[in-house]
């Protein structure tokens, strides 16, 4: 008996079992309202968008100006690091719910912070003891 490529079977659950299922409260209980905080709302969203929009001119400026400026290179590295950290932080928040997997979320949270710190130290060392990111990209591009 042949099956199609998109055929669904009951064995699908054996590959990836669902997380723990809990029902808290009743059907008539109101949804909990979080405490309002501007730092976790519109200011955070605005900061994310400013960093993302600022990466466009920061990525083009060192190559368009023709000069290698260590300050601009450091600002570019910092912006990329902050942008990446906030992006992966959003992934952890969205896909590892605190209620369902509290210890796994904490593990990923600490892992993200450790990875960000490690990359930041690596970029600092590369900027101060080597040619820097902009010059490295120029050399790879011409190779």
Which tokens belong to 52?
Answer: 């993302």
19 compared with 106, residue with greater pLDDT: 106
- Return the pLDDT at 123: 94
Question: Percentage of residues in the chain with pLDDT exceeding 90?
Answer: 41
Determine the average pLDDT of the residues in 42-47. 85
Q: What is the mean pLDDT of the chain?
A: 85
Q: What is the pLDDT of residue 124?
A: 94
Alpha helices by DSSP H, the chain: 12-15, 42-65, 70-95, 102-129, 133-142
| pLDDT tens profile 56-115 | 999 888 878 766 778 888 899 999 999 999 999 999 999 998 888 899 999 999 999 999
pTM for the model: 0.76
pLDDT band (50, 70, 90) for residue 16: low
* Cα torsion 72, 75, 81, 86: sign: negative
In angstroms, the CA 120 to CA 81 distance is 7
> Of how many residues is the chain composed?
143
pLDDT-derived band at 4 (thresholds 50, 70, 90) equals: low
Taken in order 92, 97, 99, 105, is the CA torsion positive or negative? negative
pLDDT, position 117: 98
């Amino acid at each position: 008996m042949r099956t199609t490529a998109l055929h669904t079977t009951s064995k699908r659950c054996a590959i990836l079992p669902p997380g723990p299922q809990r029902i808290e409260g009743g059907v008539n209980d109101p949804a909990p309202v979080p405490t309002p905080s501007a730092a976790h709302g519109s200011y955070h969203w605005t900061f994310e968008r400013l960093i993302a929009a600022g990466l466009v001119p920061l990525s083009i400026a060192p190559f368009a100006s023709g000069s290698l400026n260590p300050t601009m290179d450091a600002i570019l590295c910092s912006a990329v690091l902050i942008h990446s950290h906030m992006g992966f932080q959003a992934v952890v928040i969205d896909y590892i719910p605190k209620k369902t997997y509290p210890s796994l979320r904490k593990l990923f949270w600490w892992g993200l912070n450790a990875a960000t710190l490690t990359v930041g130290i690596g970029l600092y060392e590369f900027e101060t003891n080597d040619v820097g990111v902009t010059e490295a990209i120029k050399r790879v591009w011409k190779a």
